[in-house]
Chains A and B, each alone.
Chain A
Amino acid sequence: MPTDVENWKSEVYGNEIREHLFRFAEEGFETIPDDERDAWFERFKWWGLYHQRNGQEGYFMMRIGTPNGVLEPGQLRVVGEIADEYARGPGTNPIFGESYADFTTRQSIQLHWIQLSDVPAVFEKLEANGLSTQQACGDSWRNIVGNPVAGKDGQEVIDAWPVIRDLNETFKGNDDHSNLPRKWKVSVTGSADGSGQGDINDLAFEPAYKEIDGEDEVGFNVRVGGGLARNEPRLARDIDVWVSPDQVSDVAGGLSALFRDNGDREDRYNARIKFLVDEWGPEQVRETLQEEYVDFELRTAGRDVREEYTYNTGEGERNDLIGVHKQKDGTNFVGLNVLVGRMGADDVLELADLAEEYGSGEVRLSQRQNVIVTDVPDEELDDFLAEDLLEHYSPDPSPFMRGSIACTGTEFCSLSIVETKNRQVRFARWLKQHVDLPDDVDEFHIHLSGCTASCAQPQIADVSLRGMKTRKNGEAVEALDVGLGGGLGDEPQFARWVTQRVPVDEVPGAIANLIESFAAERNEGESFRAFVDRHDDEELDAFVEPEETDYEDPMMHNTKMTWYPYAEDDGMDASPPTPADD
């Protein structure tokens, strides 16, 4: 039997949701019929609006999909202005203030506290400036990711940006692909650093060479069925196909159609294509694609460059795109660290000014929740680096700052078990102050996800933290499971969950003790990931050693049972009323 969600989708889905959305925005939130709320909130996701959690009725998270994380000149300012004007609600975040923008692990932007009545105005402003929320959530083609500096990166094998733009234009708002069984996440990477993180996407195009008529041509190998969610992490699987850049769209469309027709629409938990690849195996995916979904002969896979991957690998060069890097055209891109991806609206606006003053006005977003200012000429570099704003958003941050990623958590998210972003900021600050890594280790990735959906990509970090609970002195408190040794690269590997249910106030102490053992017992020059690799779970669990320190955590109680975790009066009874229409 199809699910409720499938029934709603078969009635109204895709582009047509927009007219209903605008009607409700105009006539008022309360005009959504009482018995249709579940259906409409599910559909609104397709247009990038996700209803916030209980206690925040009538407020939405809005996701803006920026393909490959590219914000053209002027667009960051638009985001800052919209955040400043519309992303304000009854709650004030003690670290980030009243209005802010989140840069996400899939190179998108999220705003919170959006009211339905403001949606038409926000859409108008976004669209007038070439931005969109279309398909940012919901069961369809999501924001396409890749190496954010595509087209500029000195290390590039092939420029993937025109390919991504073409895919985005072809598959956004395309009725044949707008109603899929589940989300469809695509990565297209042209650089040899692995920064597109294809392995954890539903569909990945990775740079590869193929000999054709005696000549080496550059194109992409295809992998299918990666993803991290629900305790069922999978790496995308090699389906032994190489495509030239001009075939990417046909093959991507073929695979999306294959998923549309064959994905499980009766059980949403089993719907992602990773489960179909489990069931069929990569060979059957390839055969079906060839026989039913493309009308040319598929080539076998080419020679990839995976052994050169460094991004998020936990060792070697360029684990992220922070710092000053040379562009092909002789100018520079400067990666700035945005701790947990969140930036106050004022800072967004200031950064937009700086990008214009020193670069071309363009900025780009990475999958490590950071922002990159591009096109900065050599002669402007020193002045740019001396700007005050860069003290906070540093091109040369502490390893604990640059390594931190956190998801949304109990502040807004329905699925969450624990508070995340503010906690991770506090963790990073404490670790920076109290813990020293061995001198030759300058990257250490700690990813915190509030639940098993894994939006912060915890499984591919040195230290993975995942929301749980435990009892401490009889009291229920927020806790974290600790995993170690994950990373991408030629041979990607998910973290092993070695220590369960550490009370949150003992986590910084646990990480400090772990790093102390690592420093004491590592082999000369050994990376943390390699160190984890040669120990068994029990040994690692012993290294973790939770401990109270002077770190204090003001969010130990069940922050999900509040209307807003940092409010003075945070009880559900104090929930704000559904916003009135203005």
Chain B
Amino acid sequence: MTTRLRILDDGAWLSVDDTRRVSVSELWRLDSTEFCDCDLADLVVENFQAVGVDGPIVEVRVYGQCITCGTKSTTGWIPVGRIVDGEFTDLERESVLSAHSEG
């Protein structure tokens, strides 16, 4: 069975199988030199731009702002959850997240 992944309400949230899973306004610690010059970006998620999968991992690209340095941009692919036996489980997004390098 395929998992339905969608970004809805103009980028407000990520829907997985018709259930809201991840919303804007989360604050992520992002380990990505591509986003800004900070060692760890402190990213306010303002808008979801795209969703994809890499094996069992659900990834998104988001528009947001690093509140340490002020950079505003779109991220590379960031893992936010995992599909196990057809069920979505959150990744611990309070801890450090890393972007996929090919962005």
Contacts and interface: CB of A to CB of B under 8 A. Distances in A.
A501 B67 contact: yes
B59 interface: no
A408 to B, nearest CB: 12
Contacts of A451: 24, 46
Contact of B11 (A34, A269, A560): A269
A452 interface: yes
Given A452-B46, A558-B27, A415 B11 contact: yes
A37 interface: yes
A558 B15 CA distance: 21
Which bracket fits the contact residues of A?
A: 20 to 34
A468 B65 contact: yes
A101 B35 CA distance: 42
B13 interface: yes
B20 A54 contact: yes
A47 to B, nearest CB: 16
Contact of A417 (B6, B13, B18, B25): B25
B42 A416 contact: no
Given A38-B8, A470-B67, A414 B23 contact: yes
A476 B9 CA distance: 25
Contacts of B12: 53, 414-415
A42 B8 contact: yes
Contact of B27 (A268, A416, A469, A500): A469
Nearest to A41: B8
Given A35-B18, A415-B12, A471-B42, A500 B24 contact: no
Interface residues of B, number: 27
Interface in A24-57: 34-38, 41-42, 53-54
Contacts of A110: none
A38 B20 CA distance: 9
A41 B18 CA distance: 10
Given A410-B25, A452-B46, A415 B9 contact: yes
B70 interface: yes
Nearest to A53: B23
A4 B9 CA distance: 12
Interface string A447-460: 00001110000000
Contacts of B47: 230, 415, 452
Given A410-B25, A414-B23, A35 B44 contact: no
Contact of A35 (B4, B11, B27): B4
B18 A560 contact: no
B54 interface: no
B10 A476 contact: no
Contacts of A501: 67, 70
Interface in B1-31: 4, 6, 8-13, 15, 17-20, 23-27
Contacts of A558: 25, 27
A1 B65 CA distance: 29
A336 to B, nearest CB: 33
A4 B18 CA distance: 12
Contacts of B42: 471
A500 B70 contact: yes
B44 A468 contact: yes
Contacts of B26: 561
Contacts of B17: 34-35
Nearest to A418: B25
A411 B20 CA distance: 17
B67 A471 contact: yes
B4 A417 contact: no
Given A34-B18, A417-B25, A558-B27, A4 B67 contact: no
A466 to B, nearest CB: 10
A453 B8 CA distance: 14
A560 B13 CA distance: 12
Interface in B22-66: 23-27, 42, 44, 46-47, 49, 65
Nearest to B8: A38
Contacts of B46: 417, 451-452
Nearest to B49: A269
Contacts of A500: 70
B10 A469 contact: no
B19 to A, nearest CB: 8
A452 B12 CA distance: 11
Nearest to B5: A4
A452 B45 CA distance: 12
B8 to A, nearest CB: 6
A469 B67 contact: yes
Nearest to B42: A471
B10 to A, nearest CB: 6
Nearest to A453: B10
Contacts of A42: 8
Contacts of B68: 471
**Residue among A37, A38, A558 with the highest chain B CB neighbour number at 10 A:** A38
A345 B65 CA distance: 39
Nearest to A479: B67
A264 to B, nearest CB: 14
Contacts of B49: 269
16 contacts: A34-B17, A38-B15, A41-B8, A269-B10, A410-B25, A414-B13, A415-B9, A415-B47, A416-B24, A417-B46, A451-B24, A452-B46, A468-B44, A469-B27, A560-B24, A560-B25
Given A35-B4, A469-B44, 6 more contacts: A38-B6, A415-B24, A415-B47, A417-B24, A468-B44, A470-B67
Enumerate the 8 nearest inter-chain pairs by beta-carbon distance, A residue then B residue, closest first: A414-B12, A560-B25, A37-B18, A415-B12, A469-B44, A54-B20, A417-B25, A414-B9
